[in-house]
Structure 1
């Protein structure tokens, strides 16, 4: 059985293609969305999902979120005394989703299709595959998130031919893909995006607005100085965003230095704060339209994906840019996971999907560093020679011929980059190969540089010396920040020693974490009532009698809901 996973910045989902249709798989709490948050409890056991997210405010030093943004880097996150890389934290989320799928399906799960932002670099894609490996999954395919959304949406299309744009604004990334559906073939025409633009940035804009409006005059000038206050501000920002989807105003309130600070903002205030972010959304759209050689009027539909597209200001922007209301047939939180399940079904060669063919593109240019001649015998290094242009259909293989520039040059240094800038210093370095060549006068030794880019977004470079026929291959594995095979084995052993919080006890742990968070936020009689209710529930837990625990858990949850509603989800 191959499962589909939407590994998101804010939330993750797992799905499966079964009996000719997509099934979303609930987690241990019965929710489809699992917050992409990892933490440690008082005993050092790993918590994943809502239980961990509830502890962001109460135990910020033991909890990590938004780590997807750092995939492909060597950034370390400290949880207590333990350090974790981004792919290790992602692996813990994947392992939780894998356990949910195995419980739901009643059989072991070893293979998965995982979605990634279309604009993820080679290093970020490799880190995602490594995260799957660390979670005990064989990653059958990495599929771009807007492509997955289009695949899910395409199955719901009644027209045999259509062109549509997928506007995918998630928690941490923004992707645009333009696709064409005809005769059962779904072809990606162009992709563009921004890996550091998403719903989290809209929350940060609200936090900055809060500090400017009321924080500074009360001594709250640095949002990161107090991790607990910052996490509380993030929660208030999330709730304010949701409130503004159906009301003209929203109020953010936090406790700082024992004093409650409140700020009421209008949807106009929110729009003003987010204007720089809305401007950043325009550039990838224009780029994708240019690359696809299409105009907005040529599109039949604009499809929304990603939870951040629920914001009215985002939907208004989309409607304004394209002169039409976007399609909202499918839940934007779920559409990428649905597409991942469809891709899993395609990989498993399900008969119900035998008529569907999917093509994708390389979303960025890949090339090498070359030297340009500025005069007789004068060469300047640092220039970029693209070999595979962005938005080329994959899989693809392309070749360029380069030659030596110095007499008796003993070797050719081939540095590989990803990006669109004329100078390599402004692009992303991927790897390097030093190629020995026979000593000859300048220009007499030529080398064919061939790039092959596969459907998972992974690159292989092959260099052939024309004079000798000698070949050298470099699978771009040693990206800066990406684990080596030896390091993967080492981290696998370390993760295996981690104690995972028992899945069957997760509902209780989640509820207690929520109660602890609320206790810190409340004052007066409400705080006392909450302490009493929480103590009563903990006393019932001591009995270990599930017949008593279940009604007590329901009662405490109802009490918490009365105080703050249904939480973040």
Structure 2
């Protein structure tokens, strides 16, 4: 069985193709969104999703989130006795989603299509594949998030159309320009920012509020537990200001209540620098696609952060029209990934759909240029330019620099900067050349980039007929095959919190969090509810547990709603 996964910075989803539609699969709590949060419970078992998110505040040293932003790096996170790389934390989320599908359908899941930000680098894409492998999945394809959304939008669309996908999620921003014609979905251009999303809007709110709270005399806000509470309240405020013109940021600490009033106008002022950063990728994608705003038939909003009114207003002003909102922005990427999975499985209902994509980054080599009569190293020669349709193969020629030169170092980079120092180093080839006067020996450098993001560099020396080839498989910070095998075995040996206990464990974690947040009579009431529910769980009466869970959940909803 092959599934489609939206592996998000804040939340993740899984979907399968059934009949003629993509069906989202709920997790153990019956929810479609699984928070991309991992932690250890009090028994040392791994928890993923809602339980872990509730424990971010109460057990910050045993819980972690936002690790997608570090994919492709060697950054490690310590959780109790365990040390995890970003790929391993992502693998635990993927494994949880995989198990949700297996329990729902009673079938083994072995393959997946996983979505990634269109602007993910080569190393980040490899890290995502490794995460799938560590989760026990064969990753059939990585699909760019805007492309997945466009696929979900266009699979039942009739007629030719041009549209732009504006994808602002929890941690990344992507924009893609696409065309649909004769059953072909063609990506014309992609651009984006890997460090711009809803989490940054929350950070901006927190930074503003902390300044105001410190001015009121609040103690240090850098303790992990307080930071998580600040971020959680920032998320609540951001969502509240999507529905009302003003609200109050509230925090209980050291026996006192602290508050800062916020309005939609103030939120716009706080977030203005972030909104401004959204413009450049849009302009770049339109320019690369050689299409005018007036020629777009539709603008699609994707990602939970597009629910913010100020984001929608910005999009409307940029494009001179209201964006399309008939698809659920949280779910559409997972649905598109499931459609791509069905295409890979050759589902008969999707035979006529053809999808093309582009290489999101320029790929090239380091060269020396003559500057004011002097040779200067460190310049960038793009061979495959960004937004070429993949698969693609391009060749460029270079010449030797010095008399009697016997070897040329071909250093391969990814990026858009004029100087290689500002681009990402991918690999290096050493090529022997015959000693001749400078410029007499030429080298043909051919790059071939396939649909899975695999780059092959081939260097031919016409004078000698020799050829050297390098396939870029490993990047600095990416795990080696041996490391993958070792970590796969280690992850398999981890104790995972029992699925059948997740509903009740999530409620207990929620009670613990609220007990920390509240004061006075409300805090006492929450403590009493926690003690009562713990007693009910001890008695192991399923009917009593179910009734108590329903009653306490309703009471907590009222408390969190402020009633």
Partner of 1:330: 327
Partner of 2:194: 195
Q: 2:433 aligns with which of 411, 430, 437?
A: 437
Deviations 1:334-373 (A, max 9, x none): 0101110110111111111111111111111110101113
Partner SS for 1:91: helix
> Is the CA contact (8 Å cut-off) linking 1:477 and 1:484 kept in structure 2?
no
Partner of 1:347: 344
Partner SS for 1:218: coil
**Comparing 238-247 with 164-173, which one deviates more in the overlay?**
238-247
Distance, in Å, in 2 between the alignment partners of 1:219 and 1:413 is 58
What pairs up with 1:519-534 in 2 under 5 angstroms?
519-534=515-530
Partner of 1:22: 22
The alpha-carbon deviation at position 447 of structure 1 amounts to 2.1
The reply on whether 1:494 has 2:496 as its aligned counterpart is no
> Is the CA contact (8 Å cut-off) linking 2:67 and 2:86 kept in structure 1?
yes
Distance, in Å, in 2 between the alignment partners of 1:556 and 1:85 is 37
The alpha-carbon deviation at position 558 of structure 1 amounts to 1.5
Partner of 1:535: 531
Deviations 1:504-558 (A, max 9, x none): 1111111111000000011111111111111111112122332332222222212
Partner of 1:157: 157
Distance, in Å, in 2 between the alignment partners of 1:131 and 1:143 is 15
> Is the CA contact (8 Å cut-off) linking 2:454 and 2:473 kept in structure 1?
no
Distance, in Å, in 2 between the alignment partners of 1:365 and 1:170 is 24
Partner SS for 2:428: strand
The alpha-carbon deviation at position 201 of structure 1 amounts to 0.6
Partner SS for 2:216: helix
Distance, in Å, in 1 between the alignment partners of 2:350 and 2:420 is 43
Partner of 1:231: 228
> Is the CA contact (8 Å cut-off) linking 1:169 and 1:309 kept in structure 2?
yes
Question: For structure 2, which runs of at least 5 residues remain unmatched after alignment?
Answer: none
**Comparing 228-237 with 242-251, which one deviates more in the overlay?**
242-251
> Is the CA contact (8 Å cut-off) linking 1:447 and 1:466 kept in structure 2?
yes
Partner of 1:300: 297
The alpha-carbon deviation at position 212 of structure 1 amounts to 1.8
Distance, in Å, in 2 between the alignment partners of 1:563 and 1:156 is 43
Partner of 2:421: 425
Q: 1:247 aligns with which of 221, 234, 244?
A: 244
The reply on whether 1:261 has 2:279 as its aligned counterpart is no
Partner of 2:171: 172
Change (3 A) 1:264 1:389: same
> Is the CA contact (8 Å cut-off) linking 1:211 and 1:220 kept in structure 2?
no
Deviations 1:36-95 (A, max 9, x none): 000111111110001000011101111111111111111111212322111111000000
The alpha-carbon deviation at position 256 of structure 1 amounts to 2.9
Q: Please, what TM-score do these two structures have when normalized by structure 2?
A: 0.97
The alpha-carbon deviation at position 474 of structure 1 amounts to 1.7
> Is the CA contact (8 Å cut-off) linking 2:252 and 2:519 kept in structure 1?
no
Number of residues of Structure 1 aligned to a counterpart in Structure 2: 562
> Is the CA contact (8 Å cut-off) linking 1:229 and 1:255 kept in structure 2?
no
The alpha-carbon deviation at position 156 of structure 1 amounts to 4.1
**Comparing 31-40 with 242-251, which one deviates more in the overlay?**
242-251
Partner of 2:69: 69
Q: Please, what TM-score do these two structures have when normalized by structure 1?
A: 0.96
The alpha-carbon deviation at position 142 of structure 1 amounts to 0.3
Partner SS for 1:241: helix
Distance, in Å, in 1 between the alignment partners of 2:311 and 2:153 is 20
Partner of 1:412: 408
The reply on whether 1:44 has 2:40 as its aligned counterpart is no
Question: For structure 1, which runs of at least 5 residues remain unmatched after alignment?
Answer: none
The alpha-carbon deviation at position 438 of structure 1 amounts to 3.5
The Cα RMSD (Å) is 1.4
Partner SS for 1:109: coil
The alpha-carbon deviation at position 394 of structure 1 amounts to 0.6
> Is the CA contact (8 Å cut-off) linking 1:229 and 1:254 kept in structure 2?
no
> Is the CA contact (8 Å cut-off) linking 2:255 and 2:519 kept in structure 1?
no
Distance, in Å, in 2 between the alignment partners of 1:332 and 1:25 is 16
The reply on whether 1:115 has 2:115 as its aligned counterpart is yes
Deviations 1:399-428 (A, max 9, x none): 111222123323221111111111111111
Distance, in Å, in 1 between the alignment partners of 2:218 and 2:408 is 59
Distance, in Å, in 2 between the alignment partners of 1:512 and 1:247 is 31
Distance, in Å, in 2 between the alignment partners of 1:261 and 1:92 is 37
Distance, in Å, in 2 between the alignment partners of 1:435 and 1:509 is 60
Partner SS for 2:115: strand
The alpha-carbon deviation at position 467 of structure 1 amounts to 2.9
Partner SS for 1:381: strand
Q: 1:401 aligns with which of 384, 387, 397?
A: 397
Distance, in Å, in 2 between the alignment partners of 1:12 and 1:275 is 28
Partner of 1:466: 462
What pairs up with 1:6-21 in 2 under 5 angstroms?
6-21=6-21
Distance, in Å, in 1 between the alignment partners of 2:207 and 2:33 is 28
